[in-house]
Amino acid sequence: MLNKSYINICFRSKHYVKLSSKFCSQVPSTYKHLDKIKTYIEVAQQTYEDVMGMTTIKKIQGDVIEVEKALNRAQLERQDIQNELDKIRSKIKNITMEMEKTPRSHDSYLKLVTEEHSLLKLEGPLQYKFERAVESERVTFEELSKRVRHAHEKERERVEKTRVVSLLCTIFGTGVGIMGSLISDIIKNKRLQKMYDEAKELGPKINGMHDKLNNLSLDRNLKIDVSKELKDQIKVLNISTNELFKMINNIQNEFKNEEKKVESIIKIQNVITNELHEKIDKIQEKVVGSNIKLIEILDKLDISPVEEYPKHPEYKGKTSLLGLIIDHPYITLGIVGLLLLMISR
Protein backbone atom coordinates (compact mmCIF):
# COMPACT_ATOMS: atom_id res chain seq x y z
CA MET A 1 0.00 0.00 0.00
CA LEU A 2 1.03 3.56 -0.63
CA ASN A 3 2.46 5.45 2.29
CA LYS A 4 0.94 8.86 3.14
CA SER A 5 4.34 10.50 3.40
CA TYR A 6 5.17 9.15 -0.08
CA ILE A 7 1.87 10.55 -1.36
CA ASN A 8 2.57 13.93 0.26
CA ILE A 9 6.00 14.04 -1.34
CA CYS A 10 4.85 12.94 -4.80
CA PHE A 11 1.60 14.89 -4.96
CA ARG A 12 2.63 18.01 -3.13
CA SER A 13 0.95 21.17 -4.43
CA LYS A 14 3.31 22.76 -6.91
CA HIS A 15 3.62 26.47 -7.51
CA TYR A 16 5.00 28.41 -10.37
CA VAL A 17 5.88 32.07 -10.58
CA LYS A 18 5.80 33.81 -13.91
CA LEU A 19 8.03 36.84 -13.96
CA SER A 20 6.59 39.43 -16.33
CA SER A 21 9.45 41.84 -15.79
CA LYS A 22 12.40 42.40 -13.56
CA PHE A 23 10.46 44.20 -10.84
CA CYS A 24 7.02 42.52 -10.88
CA SER A 25 5.65 39.00 -10.61
CA GLN A 26 2.38 37.17 -10.36
CA VAL A 27 1.01 35.50 -7.26
CA PRO A 28 1.83 31.76 -7.16
CA SER A 29 -1.12 29.62 -8.27
CA THR A 30 -1.56 25.99 -7.22
CA TYR A 31 -2.32 23.05 -9.42
CA LYS A 32 -5.79 22.31 -8.10
CA HIS A 33 -6.19 19.13 -10.07
CA LEU A 34 -3.14 17.64 -8.34
CA ASP A 35 -4.72 18.44 -4.96
CA LYS A 36 -7.93 16.74 -6.04
CA ILE A 37 -6.01 13.67 -7.21
CA LYS A 38 -4.14 13.60 -3.90
CA THR A 39 -7.43 13.84 -1.96
CA TYR A 40 -9.02 11.05 -4.00
CA ILE A 41 -6.01 8.79 -3.50
CA GLU A 42 -5.96 9.43 0.25
CA VAL A 43 -9.70 8.75 0.56
CA ALA A 44 -9.38 5.54 -1.45
CA GLN A 45 -6.41 4.43 0.62
CA GLN A 46 -8.19 5.22 3.90
CA THR A 47 -11.32 3.38 2.78
CA TYR A 48 -9.29 0.32 1.80
CA GLU A 49 -7.43 0.35 5.12
CA ASP A 50 -10.68 0.71 7.08
CA VAL A 51 -12.35 -2.13 5.20
CA MET A 52 -9.38 -4.46 5.47
CA GLY A 53 -8.71 -3.55 9.16
CA MET A 54 -5.31 -2.04 8.56
CA THR A 55 -6.28 1.15 10.42
CA THR A 56 -7.02 -0.84 13.58
CA ILE A 57 -3.81 -2.80 13.15
CA LYS A 58 -1.80 0.40 12.77
CA LYS A 59 -3.43 1.81 15.92
CA ILE A 60 -2.72 -1.39 17.85
CA GLN A 61 0.86 -1.36 16.57
CA GLY A 62 1.22 2.19 17.83
CA ASP A 63 -0.15 1.15 21.25
CA VAL A 64 2.24 -1.82 21.31
CA ILE A 65 5.14 0.49 20.57
CA GLU A 66 4.08 2.81 23.43
CA VAL A 67 3.71 -0.11 25.85
CA GLU A 68 7.08 -1.44 24.73
CA LYS A 69 8.64 1.93 25.49
CA ALA A 70 6.95 1.92 28.93
CA LEU A 71 8.28 -1.60 29.53
CA ASN A 72 11.77 -0.46 28.62
CA ARG A 73 11.48 2.46 31.04
CA ALA A 74 10.21 0.14 33.80
CA GLN A 75 13.05 -2.29 33.17
CA LEU A 76 15.61 0.50 33.32
CA GLU A 77 14.09 1.82 36.55
CA ARG A 78 14.07 -1.68 38.08
CA GLN A 79 17.65 -2.23 37.02
CA ASP A 80 18.73 1.07 38.60
CA ILE A 81 16.94 0.27 41.87
CA GLN A 82 18.31 -3.26 41.81
CA ASN A 83 21.84 -1.94 41.32
CA GLU A 84 21.42 0.42 44.28
CA LEU A 85 20.04 -2.42 46.41
CA ASP A 86 22.90 -4.63 45.41
CA LYS A 87 25.37 -1.94 46.38
CA ILE A 88 23.68 -1.37 49.74
CA ARG A 89 23.44 -5.09 50.45
CA SER A 90 27.06 -5.60 49.53
CA LYS A 91 27.98 -2.79 51.95
CA ILE A 92 25.79 -4.29 54.69
CA LYS A 93 27.44 -7.64 54.10
CA ASN A 94 30.88 -6.11 54.37
CA ILE A 95 29.90 -4.27 57.56
CA THR A 96 28.46 -7.46 59.02
CA MET A 97 31.70 -9.27 58.31
CA GLU A 98 33.65 -6.41 59.94
CA MET A 99 31.36 -6.50 62.96
CA GLU A 100 31.97 -10.22 63.37
CA LYS A 101 35.68 -9.59 63.36
CA THR A 102 35.51 -6.54 65.64
CA PRO A 103 34.96 -7.07 69.37
CA ARG A 104 31.90 -5.41 70.76
CA SER A 105 33.86 -3.47 73.33
CA HIS A 106 35.84 -1.74 70.65
CA ASP A 107 34.88 1.81 69.64
CA SER A 108 34.71 0.97 65.93
CA TYR A 109 31.98 -1.54 66.64
CA LEU A 110 29.54 1.27 67.41
CA LYS A 111 30.50 3.05 64.23
CA LEU A 112 29.87 -0.13 62.20
CA VAL A 113 26.51 -0.60 63.87
CA THR A 114 25.55 2.99 63.05
CA GLU A 115 26.52 2.52 59.40
CA GLU A 116 24.60 -0.75 59.25
CA HIS A 117 21.57 0.96 60.74
CA SER A 118 21.69 3.79 58.22
CA LEU A 119 22.11 1.33 55.32
CA LEU A 120 19.20 -0.74 56.57
CA LYS A 121 17.08 2.41 56.70
CA LEU A 122 18.00 3.06 53.01
CA GLU A 123 17.35 -0.55 52.05
CA GLY A 124 13.71 -0.54 53.16
CA PRO A 125 12.44 2.23 50.82
CA LEU A 126 14.60 0.92 47.95
CA GLN A 127 13.16 -2.53 48.47
CA TYR A 128 9.68 -1.04 48.33
CA LYS A 129 10.57 0.89 45.17
CA PHE A 130 12.12 -2.23 43.70
CA GLU A 131 8.98 -4.23 44.37
CA ARG A 132 6.85 -1.50 42.83
CA ALA A 133 9.19 -1.35 39.80
CA VAL A 134 8.99 -5.12 39.44
CA GLU A 135 5.21 -4.96 39.70
CA SER A 136 5.09 -2.14 37.17
CA GLU A 137 7.37 -4.09 34.85
CA ARG A 138 5.21 -7.18 35.24
CA VAL A 139 2.02 -5.21 34.55
CA THR A 140 3.63 -3.48 31.59
CA PHE A 141 4.87 -6.79 30.25
CA GLU A 142 1.42 -8.31 30.63
CA GLU A 143 -0.09 -5.30 28.87
CA LEU A 144 2.48 -5.64 26.12
CA SER A 145 1.73 -9.34 25.77
CA LYS A 146 -1.98 -8.55 25.69
CA ARG A 147 -1.51 -5.87 23.04
CA VAL A 148 0.75 -8.14 21.02
CA ARG A 149 -1.79 -10.97 21.17
CA HIS A 150 -4.51 -8.52 20.18
CA ALA A 151 -2.34 -7.26 17.31
CA HIS A 152 -1.70 -10.85 16.22
CA GLU A 153 -5.41 -11.58 16.32
CA LYS A 154 -6.18 -8.48 14.28
CA GLU A 155 -3.39 -9.37 11.89
CA ARG A 156 -4.84 -12.86 11.51
CA GLU A 157 -8.26 -11.32 10.95
CA ARG A 158 -6.76 -9.03 8.33
CA VAL A 159 -5.02 -11.96 6.68
CA GLU A 160 -8.28 -13.90 6.72
CA LYS A 161 -10.13 -10.92 5.28
CA THR A 162 -7.45 -10.49 2.64
CA ARG A 163 -7.61 -14.19 1.87
CA VAL A 164 -11.42 -14.12 1.66
CA VAL A 165 -11.38 -10.96 -0.45
CA SER A 166 -8.69 -12.40 -2.71
CA LEU A 167 -10.66 -15.64 -2.95
CA LEU A 168 -13.84 -13.73 -3.77
CA CYS A 169 -11.96 -11.61 -6.29
CA THR A 170 -10.46 -14.78 -7.75
CA ILE A 171 -13.88 -16.42 -7.94
CA PHE A 172 -15.38 -13.26 -9.40
CA GLY A 173 -12.54 -12.92 -11.89
CA THR A 174 -12.80 -16.60 -12.76
CA GLY A 175 -16.56 -16.27 -13.21
CA VAL A 176 -16.11 -13.18 -15.35
CA GLY A 177 -13.44 -14.99 -17.35
CA ILE A 178 -15.66 -18.05 -17.77
CA MET A 179 -18.63 -15.90 -18.76
CA GLY A 180 -16.44 -13.93 -21.12
CA SER A 181 -15.03 -17.11 -22.63
CA LEU A 182 -18.56 -18.56 -22.96
CA ILE A 183 -19.82 -15.38 -24.59
CA SER A 184 -16.79 -15.27 -26.86
CA ASP A 185 -17.30 -18.96 -27.72
CA ILE A 186 -20.98 -18.33 -28.49
CA ILE A 187 -20.10 -15.35 -30.67
CA LYS A 188 -17.29 -17.34 -32.29
CA ASN A 189 -19.61 -20.29 -32.95
CA LYS A 190 -22.20 -17.96 -34.46
CA ARG A 191 -19.55 -16.41 -36.66
CA LEU A 192 -18.23 -19.85 -37.62
CA GLN A 193 -21.77 -21.04 -38.40
CA LYS A 194 -22.35 -17.92 -40.45
CA MET A 195 -19.03 -18.43 -42.22
CA TYR A 196 -19.92 -22.10 -42.78
CA ASP A 197 -23.28 -21.13 -44.29
CA GLU A 198 -21.60 -18.50 -46.42
CA ALA A 199 -19.00 -21.07 -47.46
CA LYS A 200 -21.81 -23.44 -48.45
CA GLU A 201 -23.42 -20.68 -50.48
CA LEU A 202 -20.09 -19.74 -51.98
CA GLY A 203 -19.18 -23.37 -52.78
CA PRO A 204 -20.86 -23.46 -56.22
CA LYS A 205 -19.54 -20.00 -56.99
CA ILE A 206 -16.06 -21.10 -55.98
CA ASN A 207 -16.38 -24.22 -58.14
CA GLY A 208 -17.56 -22.06 -61.03
CA MET A 209 -14.68 -19.69 -60.45
CA HIS A 210 -12.35 -22.69 -60.26
CA ASP A 211 -13.66 -23.90 -63.62
CA LYS A 212 -13.28 -20.40 -65.00
CA LEU A 213 -9.74 -20.28 -63.66
CA ASN A 214 -9.01 -23.63 -65.29
CA ASN A 215 -10.45 -22.35 -68.55
CA LEU A 216 -8.49 -19.16 -68.14
CA SER A 217 -5.35 -21.17 -67.47
CA LEU A 218 -6.03 -23.23 -70.61
CA ASP A 219 -6.70 -20.04 -72.56
CA ARG A 220 -3.56 -18.60 -71.08
CA ASN A 221 -1.56 -21.63 -72.15
CA LEU A 222 -3.10 -21.37 -75.62
CA LYS A 223 -2.37 -17.67 -75.68
CA ILE A 224 1.18 -18.40 -74.59
CA ASP A 225 1.53 -20.90 -77.43
CA VAL A 226 -0.08 -18.44 -79.83
CA SER A 227 2.16 -15.69 -78.52
CA LYS A 228 5.19 -17.93 -79.09
CA GLU A 229 4.00 -18.62 -82.63
CA LEU A 230 3.33 -14.92 -83.10
CA LYS A 231 6.80 -14.14 -81.82
CA ASP A 232 8.27 -16.59 -84.31
CA GLN A 233 6.10 -15.12 -87.06
CA ILE A 234 7.07 -11.64 -85.94
CA LYS A 235 10.71 -12.63 -86.16
CA VAL A 236 10.09 -13.99 -89.66
CA LEU A 237 8.06 -10.89 -90.49
CA ASN A 238 10.83 -8.71 -89.16
CA ILE A 239 13.23 -10.48 -91.48
CA SER A 240 10.73 -10.23 -94.37
CA THR A 241 9.93 -6.61 -93.51
CA ASN A 242 13.61 -5.81 -93.61
CA GLU A 243 13.76 -7.43 -97.02
CA LEU A 244 10.58 -5.58 -98.03
CA PHE A 245 12.06 -2.33 -96.82
CA LYS A 246 15.11 -3.05 -98.92
CA MET A 247 12.92 -3.88 -101.93
CA ILE A 248 10.80 -0.78 -101.30
CA ASN A 249 13.94 1.30 -101.15
CA ASN A 250 15.11 -0.27 -104.40
CA ILE A 251 11.69 0.30 -105.97
CA GLN A 252 11.67 3.87 -104.71
CA ASN A 253 15.08 4.39 -106.21
CA GLU A 254 13.85 2.83 -109.46
CA PHE A 255 10.74 5.03 -109.34
CA LYS A 256 12.95 8.03 -108.80
CA ASN A 257 15.05 7.00 -111.78
CA GLU A 258 11.90 6.38 -113.83
CA GLU A 259 10.51 9.73 -112.72
CA LYS A 260 13.70 11.34 -113.85
CA LYS A 261 13.41 9.49 -117.15
CA VAL A 262 9.73 10.45 -117.48
CA GLU A 263 10.60 14.04 -116.72
CA SER A 264 13.27 13.94 -119.38
CA ILE A 265 10.80 12.27 -121.80
CA ILE A 266 8.18 14.89 -120.94
CA LYS A 267 10.70 17.58 -121.61
CA ILE A 268 11.57 15.95 -124.92
CA GLN A 269 7.86 15.51 -125.71
CA ASN A 270 7.24 19.14 -124.89
CA VAL A 271 10.04 20.11 -127.20
CA ILE A 272 8.64 17.79 -129.92
CA THR A 273 5.09 19.09 -129.42
CA ASN A 274 6.36 22.62 -129.67
CA GLU A 275 8.17 21.73 -132.88
CA LEU A 276 5.04 19.93 -134.19
CA HIS A 277 2.89 22.93 -133.36
CA GLU A 278 5.31 25.12 -135.20
CA LYS A 279 5.30 22.74 -138.22
CA ILE A 280 1.49 22.44 -138.09
CA ASP A 281 1.24 26.20 -138.07
CA LYS A 282 3.55 26.33 -141.07
CA ILE A 283 1.55 23.57 -142.82
CA GLN A 284 -1.67 25.41 -142.09
CA GLU A 285 -0.18 28.54 -143.59
CA LYS A 286 0.93 26.54 -146.63
CA VAL A 287 -2.50 24.82 -146.86
CA VAL A 288 -4.17 28.20 -146.77
CA GLY A 289 -1.83 29.38 -149.50
CA SER A 290 -2.48 26.19 -151.52
CA ASN A 291 -6.22 26.61 -151.05
CA ILE A 292 -5.96 30.09 -152.38
CA LYS A 293 -3.97 28.84 -155.38
CA LEU A 294 -6.43 25.95 -155.82
CA ILE A 295 -9.30 28.38 -155.84
CA GLU A 296 -7.44 30.49 -158.40
CA ILE A 297 -6.90 27.36 -160.52
CA LEU A 298 -10.53 26.39 -160.16
CA ASP A 299 -11.51 29.88 -161.15
CA LYS A 300 -9.36 29.53 -164.22
CA LEU A 301 -11.07 26.23 -164.98
CA ASP A 302 -14.49 27.80 -164.32
CA ILE A 303 -15.37 25.32 -161.51
CA SER A 304 -17.42 26.51 -158.56
CA PRO A 305 -16.15 25.08 -155.26
CA VAL A 306 -19.59 25.18 -153.62
CA GLU A 307 -21.89 24.22 -156.46
CA GLU A 308 -23.82 20.98 -156.10
CA TYR A 309 -23.14 18.09 -158.45
CA PRO A 310 -26.53 17.09 -160.01
CA LYS A 311 -25.60 14.08 -162.16
CA HIS A 312 -25.58 11.33 -159.51
CA PRO A 313 -28.43 11.33 -156.98
CA GLU A 314 -26.30 9.50 -154.31
CA TYR A 315 -23.94 12.46 -154.30
CA LYS A 316 -26.72 14.96 -153.99
CA GLY A 317 -25.90 17.78 -151.68
CA LYS A 318 -22.12 17.46 -152.24
CA THR A 319 -20.02 20.23 -153.67
CA SER A 320 -18.86 20.38 -157.22
CA LEU A 321 -15.29 19.93 -155.94
CA LEU A 322 -16.19 16.46 -154.63
CA GLY A 323 -17.90 15.67 -157.85
CA LEU A 324 -14.82 16.78 -159.69
CA ILE A 325 -12.69 14.44 -157.56
CA ILE A 326 -15.03 11.51 -158.27
CA ASP A 327 -15.55 12.14 -162.01
CA HIS A 328 -12.00 13.29 -162.81
CA PRO A 329 -9.56 11.41 -160.62
CA TYR A 330 -6.56 12.04 -162.81
CA ILE A 331 -7.09 15.76 -162.70
CA THR A 332 -7.40 15.48 -158.93
CA LEU A 333 -4.14 13.55 -158.66
CA GLY A 334 -2.39 16.15 -160.67
CA ILE A 335 -3.73 18.94 -158.51
CA VAL A 336 -2.67 17.10 -155.35
CA GLY A 337 0.78 16.53 -156.75
CA LEU A 338 1.07 20.21 -157.50
CA LEU A 339 -0.04 21.02 -153.98
CA LEU A 340 2.54 18.63 -152.45
CA LEU A 341 5.26 20.16 -154.53
CA MET A 342 4.22 23.58 -153.37
CA ILE A 343 4.10 22.45 -149.74
CA SER A 344 7.53 20.81 -149.97
CA ARG A 345 8.95 24.04 -151.42
Say yes or no to pLDDT of 238 above 60: yes
CA pair distance 92, 88, nearest whole angstrom? 6
Q: Is it the case that residue 15 has pLDDT exceeding 50?
A: no
Cβ neighbours for 332, distance < 8 A, ≥ 6 positions apart: 324, 325
User: Does position 47 have pLDDT exceeding 70, yes or no?
Assistant: yes
Residue 13 has pLDDT above 70, yes or no: no
Which one is predicted more confidently, 13 or 248? 248
Judged by phi (left if over 0) then psi (alpha if -120 to 50, else beta), residue 234 lies in: alpha
Burial 67-88 (b: 16+ CB within 10 A, else e): bbebbeebbebbeebeeebeeb
Helix (H, G, I), strand (E, B) or coil at 312: coil
pLDDT confidence bin for 18, thresholds 50/70/90: very low
Question: Across-strand partners of 319?
Answer: 308
pLDDT of residue 333: 61
Phi-psi region of 302 (alpha: psi -120 to 50; beta: other; left: phi over 0): left
pLDDT at 317 over 70: no
Q: What is the pLDDT of residue 342?
A: 62
Mean per-residue pLDDT for 33-41?
Answer: 83
Give exposure, 31-40, as e/b (b: 16+ Cβ within 10 Å): eeeeeeebee
CA-to-CA distance for 259 and 253, rounded, in angstroms?
A: 10
Least confident of 176-180, 262-266, 290-294: 290-294
Q: What is the pLDDT of residues 51-106, one digit of tens each?
A: 777 788 788 888 888 888 888 888 888 888 888 888 888 888 888 888 888 777 77
> Which residue, 273, 325, 334, is CA-closest to 303?
325
Reported as half-sphere exposure (CB side, CA atoms, 13 A), residue 112 has a value of: 19
pLDDT at position 183:
93
Binning pLDDT at 50, 70 and 90, where does residue 16 land? very low
Mean pLDDT, the chain, whole residue set = 74
- pLDDT tens, position by position, 217-232: 777 777 777 777 777 7
**Higher pLDDT among residues 252 and 170, named by residue:** 170
User: What separation, in Å, do the N-terminal and C-terminal C-alpha atoms of the chain show?
Assistant: 154
For residue 14, what pLDDT band results from cuts at 50, 70 and 90?
A: very low
Q: How many CB atoms lie within 10 A of CB 271?
A: 10
Choose the weakest-confidence range: 50-54, 154-158, 165-169, 246-250.
50-54
Read off the pLDDT of residues 138-164 as tens digits, 9 standing for 90 and up. Answer: 888 888 888 888 888 888 888 888 888
Domains and CATH numbers, the chain: 4-163 (1.10.287.620), 275-344 (no CATH)
Say which range, 25-29, 47-51, 211-215, 221-225, has the weakest mean pLDDT.
Answer: 25-29
pLDDT (0 to 100) of residue 12: 46
Answer for the pair 56, 155: CB distance below 8 angstroms, yes or no.
no
Predicted local distance difference test score (pLDDT) of residue 84 = 87
pLDDT tens digits, one per residue of 113-142: 888 888 888 888 888 888 888 888 888 888
- Min mean pLDDT across 17-31, 70-84, 146-160, 276-290 is at 17-31
Q: How far apart are CA 84 and CA 117, in angstroms?
A: 16
DSSP assigned state of 310: -
pLDDT at position 178, please? 92
**pLDDT score of 237 more than 90:** no
Let me know how many helices (H) and strands (E) the chain has, helices first.
6, 2
What is the average per-residue pLDDT within 25-38? 64
Q: For position 225, what pLDDT does the model report?
A: 75
Higher pLDDT, 292 or 95: 95
Q: How far is CA 40 from CA 11, 34, 66, 257, 320, in A?
A: 11, 10, 32, 111, 154
pLDDT recorded at residue 328: 55
